[in-house]
């Protein structure tokens, strides 16, 4: 089992890079840089590429609407170059709150756009002349659009790899099916091992049936919160606000993917109440409604023996990478947690 970790996207690059270098020595395998509406992820990834030697570097995630497919491909090729072939292109649709509210771009057709974007990226990395006639992207622009002066071009540089691994963040049935079909990696949020097959098994099998064997096995990246010790159970309370944010606040009623996931997990009544409170501005009250069992089952929080059992449960459910969120106040404590987890994996 490999171990990953996401850095804080609102912090300083220098401090983050120093900590990541220590984590690399402690046995960390992958570092993820998120992108929401703070500093962009690409700047931090380039900075980290210069400060590390072994770690894989992943965008976690770049939103599919905020860059053209060609720019996404160029960016991935550049990050793969400066890191010596260590980059993983994490992509996701995000949600209307960020895409429309911050970027002013319509949030539409996430599945179709994701498929076309990945296809375009792979053509760019192979240095093919870029001609693409999709439903959502046409390159060059067809006659009658634009100036009419566009012509098919290919990437000037020779990428380190013509197949940069693509990781898709997805939880909806059709999105997960697409991920299993076209991506090297899958990142489902709030992964609950005992429920995973019931929720996503059918979608994964449908995608695998259409999968190119050259892609290899699908890497599965779970993202549990991590705390190891005899008296860490109270830290579950710090998991609940994060769950409440997504279940309650990431979408209107009827349009919240995370609320739907919690409902499928069997917490429909609680999810409705969390959403009602959160949308009313009562965030602390919403967090208190999050069930203890849900917070515990999607996390790795407890004594070493318990965490080892849960690691085995994640592995049994198909997880290949634990992209953890360490519950620790200092960099030294986070390094220690990664060292402890490495021993348990």
pLDDT tens, residue by residue, 66-100? 999 999 999 999 999 999 999 999 999 988 878 99
Could you report the per-residue pLDDT of 276-286, keeping only the tens digit for each? 999 999 999 99
Could you report the per-residue pLDDT of 288-313, keeping only the tens digit for each? 999 999 999 999 999 999 999 999 99
The DSSP code for 127 is: T
pLDDT of 8 higher than 80 = no
Return the pLDDT at 284: 97
C-alpha span between 22 and 55 (Å, rounded): 11
How large is the angle between the packed helices 110-125 and 69-82, nearest 10 degrees?
Answer: 50
Return the pLDDT at 10: 61
Give the CA radius of gyration of the chain: 20
Return the pLDDT at 11: 64
Return the pLDDT at 38: 85
- Residue range 2-227+301-344 forms a domain whose CATH class is alpha beta
Return the pLDDT at 20: 93
Return the pLDDT at 255: 82
Q: What is the average pLDDT score of the chain?
A: 95
Domain spans of the chain? Answer: 2-227+301-344, 233-300
Per DSSP, the residues of 212-259 read -GGG-SPEEEE--EEEESTT-GGGHHHHHHHHHIIIIISS-TT--HHH
Return the pLDDT at 9: 56
pTM above 0.85, yes or no: yes
């Amino acid at each position: 089992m490999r171990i990953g970790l996401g850095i804080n996207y609102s912090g300083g690059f220098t401090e983050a890079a120093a900590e990541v270098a220590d984590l690399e020595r402690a046995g960390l395998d992958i570092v993820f840089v998120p992108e929401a509406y703070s500093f962009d992820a690409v700047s931090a990834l380039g900075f980290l590429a210069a400060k590390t030697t072994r770690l894989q570097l992943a965008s976690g995630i770049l939103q599919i609407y905020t860059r053209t497919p060609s720019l996404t491909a160029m960016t991935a090729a550049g990050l793969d170059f400066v890191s010596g072939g260590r980059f993983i292109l994490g992509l996701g649709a995000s949600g209307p709150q960020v895409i429309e509210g911050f970027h002013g771009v319509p949030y539409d057709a996430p599945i179709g756009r994701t498929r076309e974007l990945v296809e375009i990226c792979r053509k760019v990395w192979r240095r093919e002349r870029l001609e693409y006639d999709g439903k959502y992207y046409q390159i060059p622009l067809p006659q009658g659009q634009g100036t009419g002066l566009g012509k098919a071009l290919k990437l000037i540089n020779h990428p380190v790899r013509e197949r940069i691994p693509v990781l898709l963040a997805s939880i909806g049935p059709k999105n997960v099916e697409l991920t299993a079909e076209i991506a090297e990696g899958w990142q489902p949020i709030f992964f609950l091992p005992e429920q995973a097959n019931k929720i996503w098994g059918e979608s994964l099998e449908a995608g695998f049936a259409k999968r190119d064997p050259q892609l290899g096995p699908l890497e599965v990246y779970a993202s549990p919160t991590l705390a190891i010790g005899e008296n860490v159970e109270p830290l579950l309370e710090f998991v609940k606000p994060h769950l409440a944010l997504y279940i309650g606040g990431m979408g209107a009623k009827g349009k919240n993917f995370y609320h739907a996931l919690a409902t499928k997990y069997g917490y429909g009544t609680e999810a409705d109440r969390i959403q009602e409170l959160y949308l009313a501005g009562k965030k602390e009250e919403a967090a208190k409604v999050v069930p203890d069992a849900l917070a515990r089952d999607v996390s790795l929080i407890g004594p070493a023996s318990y965490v080892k059992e849960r690691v085995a449960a994640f592995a049994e459910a198909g997880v290949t990478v634990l992209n953890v969120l360490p519950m620790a106040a200092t960099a030294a404590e986070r390094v220690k947690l990664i060292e402890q987890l490495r021993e348990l994996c």
